[in-house]
């Protein structure tokens, strides 16, 4: 068996995966976290019941390039708004925010207008997520 070579760009890319709010179903978040790890990224998983403040502070301490939020509770508008606001307040709005979960199409539009970089609906594959992360990192690396 030949040893696959880690991708240095991916292993330098740090992604915080978080479950904000009261929602207790973390299987989706864990699937994403593990698939990102298997693709070669460095994933920091914060666990359940995180407040937007906790998530943003974590991303700052960890110098994350991207935050991924998994929200199944319906509180996505409030939670994304808060995370974006706190990132800006802390001069950290270069950190990309993406998310997944149960989010209706009109809300997805509003969220993108607010600055959420990408929302994945339940049909999205882990391959889609990985491809998007690669593109996002490439676009932020361009001078």
Residue window 78-117: x/- pattern of binding to another protein, with contact defined by CB under 8 A: ------------xxx-------------------------
DSSP states of 57-114: HHHHHTT-SEEEEEE-SS-HHHHHHHHHHHHHHTT-TTSEEEEEES--HHHHHHHHHH
Q: Which of 23, 29, 45, 71 binds another protein (CB under 8 A)?
A: 45
Is residue 134 part of the contact set for another protein (CB under 8 A)? no
Among 28, 58, 73, 132, binds another protein (CB under 8 A): 58
Establish if 62 lies at the interface with another protein (CB under 8 A): yes
């Amino acid at each position: 068996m030949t040893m696959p070579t880690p991708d240095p760009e991916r292993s330098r890319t740090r992604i915080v995966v978080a479950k904000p709010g009261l929602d207790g179903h973390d299987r989706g978040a864990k699937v994403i976290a593990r698939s990102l790890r298997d693709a070669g990224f460095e994933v920091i998983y914060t666990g359940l019941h995180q407040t937007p403040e906790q998530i943003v502070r974590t991303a700052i301490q960890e110098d994350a390039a991207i935050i991924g939020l998994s929200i199944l509770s319906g509180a996505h508008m409030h939670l994304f708004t808060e995370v974006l606001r706190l990132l800006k307040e802390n001069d950290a709005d270069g950190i990309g925010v993406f998310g997944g979960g149960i989010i209706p199409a009109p809300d997805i539009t509003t969220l993108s207008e607010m600055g959420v970089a990408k929302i994945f609906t339940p049909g999205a594959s882990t391959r889609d997520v990985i491809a998007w992360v690669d593109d996002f990192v490439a676009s932020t690396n361009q001078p």
